[in-house]
Amino acid sequence: MKSKYDVLVIGGGPAGALAAKTAVEKGLSACIVEKRPAIGAPVRCAEGIGKEALQEFIEPDPRWISAEMTGATIVAPDGFVMQLSSQMAGSKVGYVLDRKFFDRELVWKAAEAGADVAVKSRAAVPIIENGVVKGAKVDFCGKVTNVRAEVVIAADGVESKFSKWCGIDTTVPVREIMSSVQYVMTGIEIDANSTVFYLGNEVAPEGYLWVFPKGKNTANVGIGISGRKSGAGHRAKDYLDAFVKKTFPHGRTIEYIPGGVSVCRPLECTVADGLIITGDAARVVDPLTGGGIYNAMYTGKLAAETAADCIGKGDVSKKALMVYDKTWRASKMGKAIERNYHIKEYLIKQPDTKLNEIIHSVSKINMTEFTTLNLVKEIIRVNPKLMLELGALAASLR
Partner 1 sequence: MLKVHRDICGYCGCCVSVCPEGALELIDAYLSVEENCTSCGVCAKVCPLGALEVVNEKQV
Distance of closest approach, residue 391 Cβ to partner 1, in angstroms: 30
Stretch that binds partner 1, among 11-19, 69-77, 104-112, 256-264 (CB under 8 A): 256-264
231 binds partner 1 (CB under 8 A): yes
Q: Angle at CA 279, nearest 5°, toward 67 and 166?
A: 155
Contact 284, 295 (CB under 8 A): yes
Contact 7, 290 (CB under 8 A): no
237 binds partner 1 (CB under 8 A): yes
265 binds partner 1 (CB under 8 A): no
Q: Which residues contact 50 (CB under 8 A, 6 or more apart)?
A: 93, 94, 294, 370, 371
41 binds partner 1 (CB under 8 A): no
Q: Is the peptide bond before 62 cis (omega within 30 degrees of 0)?
A: no
Distance of closest approach, residue 266 Cβ to partner 1, in angstroms: 14
End-to-end C-alpha distance for the chain, whole angstroms: 51
Stretch that binds partner 1, among 52-60, 226-234, 270-278, 292-300 (CB under 8 A): 226-234
257 binds partner 1 (CB under 8 A): yes
Stretch that binds partner 1, among 67-75, 105-113, 172-180, 383-391 (CB under 8 A): 172-180
Stretch that binds partner 1, among 84-92, 101-109, 165-173, 317-325 (CB under 8 A): 165-173
Stretch that binds partner 1, among 49-57, 192-200, 212-220, 253-261 (CB under 8 A): 253-261
Residue type present at position 296: A
Distance of closest approach, residue 260 Cβ to partner 1, in angstroms: 3
Closest CA to 14 of 212, 274, 299: 299
Among residues 94 and 259, whose Cβ is nearest to partner 1? 259
Q: How many CB atoms lie within 10 A of CB 39?
A: 24
99 binds partner 1 (CB under 8 A): no
Distance of closest approach, residue 180 Cβ to partner 1, in angstroms: 6
Which one of 35, 134, 342, 344 is in contact with partner 1 (CB under 8 A)? 35
Closest CA to 1 of 30, 21, 44, 37: 30
291 binds partner 1 (CB under 8 A): no
List phi, psi (to 5°) of 393.
-60, -40
Q: Angle at CA 279, nearest 5°, toward 107 and 300?
A: 50
Contact mark string toward partner 1, 114..153, x via CB under 8 A: ------x-x-------------------------------
Closest CA to 107 of 21, 231, 181: 21
Size of the residue set binding partner 1 (CB under 8 A) = 36
- Element (DSSP H or E) covering residue 370: none
Which one of 179, 218, 270, 299 is in contact with partner 1 (CB under 8 A)? 179
164 binds partner 1 (CB under 8 A): yes
List phi, psi (to 5°) of 105.
-60, -45
Which one of 190, 203, 236, 302 is in contact with partner 1 (CB under 8 A)? 236
Burial class of residue 315 (count of CB atoms within 10 Å of its CB; 0-12, 13-18, 19+): exposed
Distance of closest approach, residue 376 Cβ to partner 1, in angstroms: 27
Sign of CA dihedral 195, 246, 41, 304: positive
284 binds partner 1 (CB under 8 A): no
Stretch that binds partner 1, among 61-69, 174-182, 328-336, 385-393 (CB under 8 A): 174-182
Report how far Cα 210 is from the mean position of its chain's Cα atoms. 15
Distance of closest approach, residue 255 Cβ to partner 1, in angstroms: 11
109 binds partner 1 (CB under 8 A): no
Contact 146, 127 (CB under 8 A): yes
Distance of closest approach, residue 44 Cβ to partner 1, in angstroms: 6
Binders in 180-219 for partner 1, by CB under 8 A: 180-181
d(CA 205, CA 189): 25
Applying CB under 8 A, the residues found at the interface with partner 1 are: 35-37, 44, 120, 122, 157-161, 164-165, 170-174, 177, 179-181, 227-228, 230-232, 235-237, 256-260, 262
